[in-house]
Amino acid sequence: MALTGIEIYKKLPKTNCKECGVPTCMAFAMKLAAGQAELSACPHVSEEARAELDEASAPPIRSVTIGKGDRGLKVGGEIVMFRHEKTFYNPPGLAVLVTDEMDSAEVDRRLKSFKELEYDRVGLLLRADLVACKSTSGDAGKFEALVKKVQSEVEGGLILISEDAGVMEAGLKVSADNNPLIYAATSDNADAFAKLAKDNTCPLAARGKDLNELVELTQKLTGAGLKDIVIDSGARGLRQAFQDQIVIRRKAIQSKFQPLGFPTITFPCEMTDDPMKETLIASTFIAKYGGIIVLSDLNGHSLFPLLLERMNIFTDPQRPMATTAGIYEINNPDENSPVLITSNFSLTYFIVSGEIDSSRVPTWLLVFDTEGLSVLTGWAAGKFVGDAIGPWVKKCGITDKVKRLKLIIPGVAAAISGELEEELPDWEISIGPREAAHLGAFLKQL
């Protein structure tokens, strides 16, 4: 819960020593309250006050890390209901299921998919995050062997699934160092599982039969001193599960209700037998508040759309809708490839580059800085015009890359071709289609 400047001030040393870089403790407290300073800037604050202030400034949904190092996955930590209110911070982790009764070739295939299905997209690496190892046999030895195998073959965090403390202990014995998520504490095994989580310092998932039971359970676990908790409302029908996600997020953020202030875990893999439908169920949890989403399998055709959705929903909406200006190489162009120019409005760029890409025609795309305006608006605003574009084309470096100086401009900006010819006397200016949809056909007949 956010504290006011005065409340924070009461906990500071009140010596005005200035070491935090601010003249007085009061001024520093004000900055902290406004989120413009970090408490660590004050070297004199007492341990006790630090703990209190940290607690008070923690986000309403705890952030929990599963796994370690580079492949550690942080979930939770969200502070808003709608992405446009600020942004969503931590994309939900996607997990693939393997069990200790599965054919070993099948386990191998899934692990191979987990490792191989990685996609590079505009500088982002998109991939699944976790492997969920489930004990279906109830045999501790089998579970231990599965966990050991998974751990040795893949990087990335683990979820250990069993409700039997003995089985779970066997899995933890070989993986606790990697900080796996323990799934799950229930009202039947809560004490034993709380102890396992504590002894191994691993995050623990709690599953209730419904939200009420879940609340009792998390209160019990936090009472036992556990902090890193992930929650499952137990619902496996879409309507109830969807509603629970919303209620949990709302309770945590709007009512500051701490027993539900944790990231969630969802199981599309248990909600349908149809893999296509499972993908759509997963897609609802990406949009609405899933913290971890466990899938029954990983296939490119279903994983990739989910990764795109996740990338979209978790893009910071405060970021201007602009793409970096510059030269973009599409389909490996060479010195004879055509040169196109467009504006740096993100959507324009996405659509134009997508059309060029799917045409397979090697092309240089110049993205000109119109401050995020589309071509037509940019032209009307005097930004996408000859005397601005001309000098930039000369110095952007494209002339070192191509022999044939022919510049294709968007059809809707045909009016600037005359000015551009004056600005770029060495270039031949030609007019492309008005609609991006016609770019493919246009490029192919060049």
Residue partners of 36: CB distance under 8 A and separation at least 6: none
Given candidates 17, 56, 380, 381, which one binds ligand SF4 under the rule CB under 6 A?
17
Distance CA 302, CA 281 (A): 12
In sequence order, what are the residues at sequence separation of 6 or more whose Cβ sits closer than 8 angstroms to the Cβ of residue 286?
92, 293, 306, 309, 310, 313
Q: Of the candidates 52, 74, 222, 304, which one interacts with other proteins according to CB under 8 A?
A: 304
Paired with 64 in beta bridges are: 75
Q: Look up residue 385 and give its two tokens.
A: 């015009």
Among the listed ranges 32-40, 95-103, 182-190, 431-439, the one in contact with other proteins (CB under 8 A) is 431-439
Query: CB of 95 within 8 A of CB of 293?
Result: yes
- Closer of 192 and 351 to other proteins (Cβ): 351
Which of ligand SF4, other proteins, none does residue 119 bind to, with CB < 5 to 8 Å depending on kind?
other proteins
- Give which of other proteins, ligand SF4, none residue 75 binds (C-beta under 5 to 8 Å, depending on kind): none
Site string for other proteins, 81-120 (x = CB under 8 A): -xxx-------------------------------xxxx-
Stretch that binds other proteins, among 70-78, 103-111, 192-200, 306-314 (CB under 8 A): 306-314
Task: Report how far residue 104's alpha carbon sits from residue 137's, in angstroms, rounded to the nearest whole number.
Answer: 14
Q: Which of other proteins, ligand SF4, none is residue 42 near (CB under 5 to 8 Å by kind)?
A: ligand SF4
Helix (H, G, I), strand (E, B) or coil at 430: strand
Residue 394, burial from CB neighbour count under 10 angstroms (0-12, 13-18, 19+): middle
The answer to whether residue 12 forms part of the interface with ligand SF4 (CB under 6 A) is: yes
Distance set, CA 442 to CA 277, 352, 431, 438 (Å): 38, 12, 10, 6
Is position 15 an interface residue for ligand SF4 (rule: CB under 6 A)? yes
The residue range among 11-19, 212-220, 235-243, 414-422 that interacts with ligand SF4, by the rule CB under 6 A, is 11-19
Contact 359, 440 (CB under 8 A): yes
Interface residue with other proteins among 238, 325, 405, 431 (CB under 8 A) is 238
Residue 440 touching other proteins (CB under 8 A): yes
320 binds other proteins (CB under 8 A): no
Cβ contacts of 332-337, under 8 Å, gap ≥ 24: 332/362, 333/362, 333/363, 333/364, 333/401, 334/362, 335/401, 335/402, 335/403, 335/404, 336/402, 336/403, 336/404, 337/361, 337/362, 337/363, 337/364, 337/402
Question: Does residue number 10 form part of the binding site for ligand SF4 (CB under 6 A)?
Answer: no
Among residues 15, 104, 201, 358, the one that binds other proteins under rule CB under 8 A:
358
- Which residues are near other proteins by CB under 8 A? 82-84, 116-119, 121, 211-212, 215, 237-239, 242-243, 246-247, 250-251, 254-255, 276-277, 279-281, 283-284, 287-288, 299-306, 308-309, 311-313, 315, 317, 321, 346-347, 350-351, 354-355, 357-358, 374, 433-435, 437-438, 440-441
